[in-house]
Amino acid sequence: MARRAKGRPVNGIFLLDKPGGISSNRALQIVKRIYGAAKAGHTGALDPLATGMLPLCFGEATKFSQFLLDADKRYITTAKLGQRTDTSDADGEIVEERPLPENLTADQINDLLQQDFVGQITQVPSMFSALKHNGQPLYKLARQGIEVEVKSRQVTVFQIDLLDFRGDEVDLDIRCSKGTYIRSIVQDMGEMLGCGAHVKMLRRLDSGPYKAENMMPLDELEALSEKIAEEMGDEATPESIQMRLDELLLPPWSPVADTPELRLTEKQTRTLCFGQTVILENPEPAELVRIIDDASDRFLGIGEVNVQGQLLPRRLMSTQ
């Protein structure tokens, strides 16, 4: 007998403004409980120190989470100059202190950033990152005193803006590709300046199509849940409150909203749902399309159109 999933079938994406001091998984579990969701996952962990954009995928939306994992990101960070920590951020222990270069200016820092950190760069991820080695996150190994070889990787930094320079602190606005470690940028910048540096503050603003102004802090979500319960009075049930909160969710297809749309006839939709090959008339080959049932305007999933005019499904919404 199949196990019944605990929770209700919620489908959509919640844009959480993650608070500092807790892990991304802990934040996910709190929101999952508030929504009573049976299935949920996040799209790229933020360190406990970090705050900001953490898209949470519920139910069918988890099928499209990879597009958010692969998406470009935007961060703001404060770098503390003159101190190096064992984790490259303020949560670690100070392991070295060095004086700043004499007469250091914002222009000198900015010139260094534009010359050495914008474009395609090579990074070695920190041992305190969530990157996995043989299934274990590196930070867990690091806390056990276990050192492993971490391979360098190519990432792209599209833009760095120096927002402010205050004595021994530098505020930066960074737009980058997936897999970019802001701690590595700050640490490497500090070494090139000769004084060392670590991340004092880190906040993710944007992730793919999602912008900072649309995310909601955890305490605001909790307060809204309580307010809805008060408004409903005796009629309030956990599920009725949760269904009101569903209005905050973005549709499961929002990670692929910018992809070309392919509308199917009623017959083609049936063919697709029966797992049969859909042959298109006068097709334009495309690596990725968003599949829509034209009659109901229902999102069916994503697929590829090959040169033979066949629609090849890649991820389909459940039809149950």
* Residue 281 DSSP SS3: coil
For the question of residue 89 being annotated catalytic, the response is no
Please report the beta strands in the chain, taking only residues with DSSP state E, as ranges in sequence order. 12-18, 40-42, 51-58, 73-81, 83-85, 94-97, 119-123, 132-133, 136-137, 153-166, 169-176, 197-207, 216-217, 261-264, 278-279, 286-293, 298-305, 310-316
Determine which one of 17, 47, 188, 206 is catalytic: 47
Euclidean distance between CA atoms 147 and 168, whole angstroms: 31
Q: Tokens 């060392």 belong to which residue? A: 196
C-alpha neighbours within 13 Å on the C-beta side of residue 194: 6
Structure tokens at 39: 């299935």
Euclidean distance between CA atoms 119 and 222, whole angstroms: 41
Burial pattern 96-130, b for ≥16 Cβ within 10 A else e, equals eebebeeebeeeebbeebeeebbeebebebbbbbb
**Active-site amino acid positions:** 47
